[in-house]
Structure 1
Amino acid sequence: MCGIVAATSTRRNVVPLLVQGLKRLEYRGYDSCGVAVWNEGLKRVRSVSRVSELSEQIEKDHIEGYLGIAHTRWATHGAPLVCNAHPHFAGDQIALIHNGIIENYEEIREELRAKGVQFASQTDSEVLAHLVRDYYEGDLLKAVEAALNRVRGAYAIAVFCKEDPHRVIVARQGSPLVLGLGDGEMFAASDTMALAGETDRFIYMEDGDVADLTTDSYQVYSHQGREFVPVTREVCKVEAFSNAVELGPYRHYMQKEIFEQPRAIADTLEAVGDVTPGLFGEKAAEVFNDVDRILMIACGTSYYAALTSKYWLEGIAGIPCDVEIASEYRYRKSVPNPKTLVVTISQSGETADTLAALKHARDLGMTKTLTICNVATSAMVRESLLRYITRAGVEIGVASTKAFTTQLTALFLLTLCLAKVKGRLDPKDEAEYMRLLRHVPKAVSAVLALEPQVMAWAERFASKEDALFLGRGIHYPIALEGALKLKEISYIHAEAYPAGELKHGPLALVDESIPVVTVAPNDELLEKLKSNMKEVEARKGELYVFADADTGLESTEHIHVIRMPENYGPLSPILHVVPLQLLAYHTAFIRGNDVDKPRNLAKSVTTE
């Protein structure tokens, strides 16, 4: 979600570093941004525009300093206005930036108002800044610790004060934060990529950690009860390459990432030899042997990956599988089973709802946990017993594409491993499944060649305001993902249904004005799907069908067909989602939308 960058140095003006860090975090989504420094007093620049315009204002105002904090905000409390943008000041003494949500901010705000504090914003974050000042008695670390003992919620913060102009205090609880160790300087950021080229030595802060940074030292403290005690955290060497964020020949990151999928899938499979539980961790064989149920927990696109894999896990591995929306799971009473494999799926590994759901499942006694994630150092991976790291690379576009197909790749591998452990995968089937899986990158490349045909459809979709997506069986979640992509970036209202449900309500919406996108693989449900399509055609609906070459479906006046290069059996969902991604992208582009930064959305959702 929001982006944080902080730095203190003995040898240089840190403002260019802060601005560069914000630019690298723009992919997370934001609606305002700002920088604050110490330079003979607290100084700041804030904007409700892009980081590039903030940079121009910084140059105009000659903002420089050896200590500073910077932030990109995605509004939760208060509209996107300059007064609500970070950094927030408490008088002329404290500067603070904050990701997350302080749940009890209203109570604290009223308490501070009673003491005469005046607030300049509608945010929960400014309340925290004033609370730190209220506790400040000459030691910023103690003031921050006292303030954090008062608040409930999620946070990643960076704070400095005018009395100690070479010191930054940072803390995390539920929102990601890393420390960067330099020579005569120290850094903190939401993401290692923000500090690419500045250092390759990082410390991944854990929930409840507070760190005291000066130009030549650092100390991490852990929140234990109401006390903070010194702890040692591992220093990791990470090459945070920034070249992954270059657009190259593409118009948008989303388009680039769609076309990176063959490589991303190949990279995700690169280390896979035989189908063995060891792919998921040292204890995987022991865990898989003791599993009789699977619980999948995820949000958004990752949730649709989980829904797709349910068909594989039950159909190939023969293991009952439940799929839960993470934001709902821990708020209802469920029936725990200690023999459940709890699988969490996340691109960032920091998704707040999914991380909380993982901890909730573990608290219920379900300790057999596995995370499928694109970030090896993320909180979710560290919290799980087992893991599989996809190798999609950095995904900048808010609308996820290559993360989805690499998640599906990992989930199919998980299916094969579980099927083998349970004695449901004979060597012949294993060899055939792996042959298909290794051919997926080439097959996806062939699907990408359909882009010109999809672009022609996008011209028609661009003037629409509603669309229906249909799929059956394992391709129903793919229809859901296609509808999500279209609504996310084109702002066209789109809904997906199992095609057999048309006659139970959605058919009332069908007329000549609403395009009906249909995913039509040549599988056991094809004939039933054709009957559903006839229902649409009889109501003068316009069908746009992505069909396998051997389905026998032909274009007519009201049926438009794009033929997929090949029938891909159980792995067909990975192929069929690609043209749906392209359709959403080109429709949004034609409508003139900001494809990579759709309104109201953020990339990494680290608040509930």
Structure 2
Amino acid sequence: MCGIVGIVGRGPVAPLIVDALKRLEYRGYDSAGVATIEAGVLGRRRAEGKLVNLEKRLNAEPLDGKIGIGHTRWATHGVPNETNAHPHFSNGVAVVHNGIIENFASLRDELIADGYVFSSQTDTEVVAHLIARELKRGADPVAAAHGTLKQLEGAFALAIMFQGDEDLIVGARNGPPLAVGHGEGEMFLGSDAIALAPFTNSVTYLEDGDWATIRRDKAEIFDMDGARVERKRQQSLSTSYMVDKGNRRHFMEKEIHEQPEVISHTLAHYLDFTSDSSKPLDLPFDFAKLDRIAISACGTAYLSGLIGKYWFERLARLPVDIDIASEFRYREMPISKDSAAFFISQSGETADTLASLRYCRSAGVPIGAIVNVRESTIARESDVVLPTLAGPEIGVASTKAFTCQLSVLASLAVRAGVARGTISREQEKALVHQLSEAPRFATQVLKLEEQIEKLARDLSRYHHVLYLGRDTNFPLAMEGALKLKEISYIHAEGYAAGELKHGPIALIDENMPVIVIAPHDRIFEKTVSNMQEVAARGGKIILITDKKGAALASVKTMETIVLPDVPEIIAPLIYALPIQMLAYFTAVFMGTDVDQPRNLAKSVTVE
């Protein structure tokens, strides 16, 4: 998760920006930079690696401007180096950016045709050149920024400065978070309130689609049409030493909403969006020579592995054995040395998963760790660490760690398909491009919050819920049931829809809501048949589908949640969000402890 800081201040801001960026180090980064305006002129210092390298540059070559923007970058487009580090400049425009500009390739080609020269591999530089072009065409800085925003597709947060104007930063949010901090004769902009804590505790959080002009004496916020909007100004409880809930009631809610950003950074770690290709990986095995993969994990991580099994077998024609770690470690599974093993854990400390890893280690099998904590025991004892870049996840019920695990597994499956020759170069390009769209679609789904919250109020009145799905939606059905029972304490079960007649149908009556996860796909009609069986027995159906699925379902539902039409490979990432939100709001109405549900721990370090 990249970090953004902007200050319109009363004295030199570069040291303050660096200090603020340090409070965002928990988000992860691989380069950093600061730009200020002094005597009307833009200046910039950037460095690869940690902030200490940037500090050395600033000590040797200070920036004394009283207005500035800073950034810590996780590489998405282009390798981590100084040239690709932010801020990016173009003819008096400075830009820092979190997220992914999905249509950057077509915009770049258009700009190159107009004579603009690119010095980096990043998608961000497109934004700087677009704004510069708007200025050249006669727009003032605010209009140039607004005009550019309307051309961008994807999930992004931006901070923009203009040479010659020492009293203006433009900020914009479409997905990744951004907050305005209010001071006396100075104003601030930051990725979250933690960065701004030493300067102010008075914060306004931008909402998706908002953009703002920030000056020393005020901030004005607009929607994407340019109309003025009012957003609540509130007191932040952040300190520089704590991860903050922001403007959310619970960490779980905040972490659900962080998913567009963390998905983008995780995908970009494994995929090259500039060339629409999977990145080569330094693995202790060759996918082309494996005869199978073993995957083991617990809880939600296990369910991400189940979805990964579908991807590996479909895209790479590579058989996958998957077990719950507590079973894997005891059933003495025979393992070939021509196989590899992946172990999935948010914390990297899960006891059963670690024991399973050690079993494979004793068998001489190469091991990969899909973990969110690189310094964890599972990471240290593996041959290769395949990180999820979710950042700290405080809520016990996993949300963003799950979708980041899915992002890693999807990327690995594509890479395996390339290595094994089961997908062509054209298929690889298409799959990588489809994966790059996931953050934008995730942002769209989060806007269904009001509908899902209303539905959750009704769901909270029931004592039992059944989830159904086919293909990758079967593990998602189990994940939806797990989330609901974890935090609301409502009994829930997830089944393969085709298993309905083999037992679960006996439970169906007017007191048993059935949540069906069914995008319109090649097996949609079979799932509709299962819904008809439920309807015939008086069951209340909640259908999660897309527009075409909603039109063709031909079954009366208690509620239909219509998601965007998405490519098959990213459907599990996108359909995970409504089941998370439904569990979250149901738990809120039940009055349970959402972030720390009873009897559960974030990291299970004992058997």
Aligned CA distance change for structure 1 residues 242 and 350 (closer, same or farther; 3 Å): farther
Q: Residue type matched to 1:297 in 2?
A: S
- Residue 408 (structure 2) aligns with: 410
Moved more, 434-443 or 264-273: 264-273
- Residue 514 (structure 2) aligns with: 516
Residues 297, 344 of structure 2: 8 Å contact kept: yes
Q: Identity rate of aligned residues, in percent?
A: 45
- Residue 601 (structure 2) aligns with: 602
Moved more, 563-572 or 335-344: 563-572
Deviation at 1:347, TM superposition (A): 0.5
Aligned CA distance change for structure 1 residues 288 and 505 (closer, same or farther; 3 Å): same
Residues 275, 413 of structure 1: 8 Å contact kept: no
Q: Superposed, which structure 2 residues align to 1:120-131 within 5 Å?
A: none
Q: Superposed, which structure 2 residues align to 1:200-599 within 5 Å?
A: 245-271=243-269, 272-273=271-272, 280=281, 282-284=282-284, 286-366=285-365, 368-551=366-549, 552-553=551-552, 558-599=557-598
Residues 461, 587 of structure 1: 8 Å contact kept: yes
Residues 278, 428 of structure 2: 8 Å contact kept: no
Residues 347, 372 of structure 2: 8 Å contact kept: yes
Residues 336, 365 of structure 1: 8 Å contact kept: no
Residues 342, 370 of structure 2: 8 Å contact kept: yes
The one-character-per-residue Cα deviations of 1:464-495 (angstroms, maximum 9, x if unpaired) are: 11000000111100000000000000000000
Deviation at 1:298, TM superposition (A): 0.4
Q: Residue type matched to 1:524 in 2?
A: R
Question: Distance in 2 between the 1:242 and 1:318 partners?
Answer: 48
Q: Residue type matched to 1:586 in 2?
A: F
The one-character-per-residue Cα deviations of 1:527-562 (angstroms, maximum 9, x if unpaired) are: 000000000000000000001111124686544211
Aligned CA distance change for structure 1 residues 283 and 520 (closer, same or farther; 3 Å): closer
Question: Distance in 2 between the 1:532 and 1:278 partners?
Answer: 41
Residues 486, 597 of structure 2: 8 Å contact kept: yes
Q: Residue type matched to 2:574 in 1?
A: L
The one-character-per-residue Cα deviations of 1:258-296 (angstroms, maximum 9, x if unpaired) are: 00000111111234326888654x345x53243110000
Residues 543, 557 of structure 2: 8 Å contact kept: no
Residues 513, 541 of structure 2: 8 Å contact kept: yes
Q: Secondary structure at the match of 2:525?
A: helix
Question: Distance in 1 between the 2:283 and 2:485 partners?
Answer: 41
Q: Secondary structure at the match of 2:561?
A: strand
Q: Secondary structure at the match of 1:532?
A: helix
Question: Distance in 1 between the 2:481 and 2:283 partners?
Answer: 38
Question: Distance in 2 between the 1:299 and 1:462 partners?
Answer: 27
Unaligned stretches of 5+ in structure 2? 1-196, 198-238
Deviation at 1:567, TM superposition (A): 2.9
Residues 532, 555 of structure 2: 8 Å contact kept: no
Q: Secondary structure at the match of 1:248?
A: coil
Q: Secondary structure at the match of 1:473?
A: coil
Residues 304, 480 of structure 1: 8 Å contact kept: yes
Aligned CA distance change for structure 1 residues 244 and 522 (closer, same or farther; 3 Å): farther
Deviation at 1:332, TM superposition (A): 1.4
The one-character-per-residue Cα deviations of 1:333-386 (angstroms, maximum 9, x if unpaired) are: 2212101110001101111110110011111232x1111111111111111112
Question: Distance in 2 between the 1:392 and 1:242 partners?
Answer: 20
Residues 330, 360 of structure 1: 8 Å contact kept: yes
TM-align CA RMSD: 1.8
Q: Secondary structure at the match of 1:550?
A: helix
Q: Superposed, which structure 2 residues align to 1:127-142 within 5 Å?
A: none
Aligned CA distance change for structure 1 residues 244 and 304 (closer, same or farther; 3 Å): farther
Q: Secondary structure at the match of 1:469?
A: strand
Question: Distance in 2 between the 1:548 and 1:436 partners?
Answer: 17
Aligned CA distance change for structure 1 residues 601 and 356 (closer, same or farther; 3 Å): same
TM-score, normalized by length of structure 2?
0.58
Aligned CA distance change for structure 1 residues 344 and 277 (closer, same or farther; 3 Å): farther
Q: Secondary structure at the match of 1:521?
A: coil
Residues 278, 432 of structure 2: 8 Å contact kept: no
Q: Secondary structure at the match of 1:389?
A: coil
Q: Residue type matched to 2:324 in 1?
A: I
Q: Residue type matched to 1:489 in 2?
A: I
Q: Secondary structure at the match of 2:386?
A: strand
Q: Residue type matched to 1:306 in 2?
A: G
Q: Secondary structure at the match of 1:588?
A: helix
Residues 399, 596 of structure 1: 8 Å contact kept: yes
Q: Superposed, which structure 2 residues align to 1:61-76 within 5 Å?
A: none
Residues 550, 567 of structure 1: 8 Å contact kept: no
Q: Secondary structure at the match of 2:295?
A: strand
Q: Residue type matched to 1:546 in 2?
A: I
Deviation at 1:463, TM superposition (A): 1.2
Aligned CA distance change for structure 1 residues 489 and 517 (closer, same or farther; 3 Å): same
Q: Secondary structure at the match of 1:562?
A: strand
Q: Residue type matched to 2:253 in 1?
A: Q
The one-character-per-residue Cα deviations of 1:20-42 (angstroms, maximum 9, x if unpaired) are: xxxxxxxxxxxxxxxxxxxxxxx
Unaligned stretches of 5+ in structure 1? 1-196, 198-240
Q: Residue type matched to 1:323 in 2?
A: I
Q: 4+ runs of 1 displaced by more than 3 Å? A: 241-244, 274-280, 553-559
Deviation at 1:242, TM superposition (A): 5.9
Question: Distance in 2 between the 1:601 and 1:391 partners?
Answer: 24
Residues 549, 567 of structure 1: 8 Å contact kept: no
- Residue 162 (structure 2) aligns with: none
Question: Distance in 1 between the 2:568 and 2:279 partners?
Answer: 26
Q: Secondary structure at the match of 1:496?
A: strand
Q: Residue type matched to 2:474 in 1?
A: Y
Q: Secondary structure at the match of 1:245?
A: coil
Question: Distance in 2 between the 1:304 and 1:395 partners?
Answer: 18
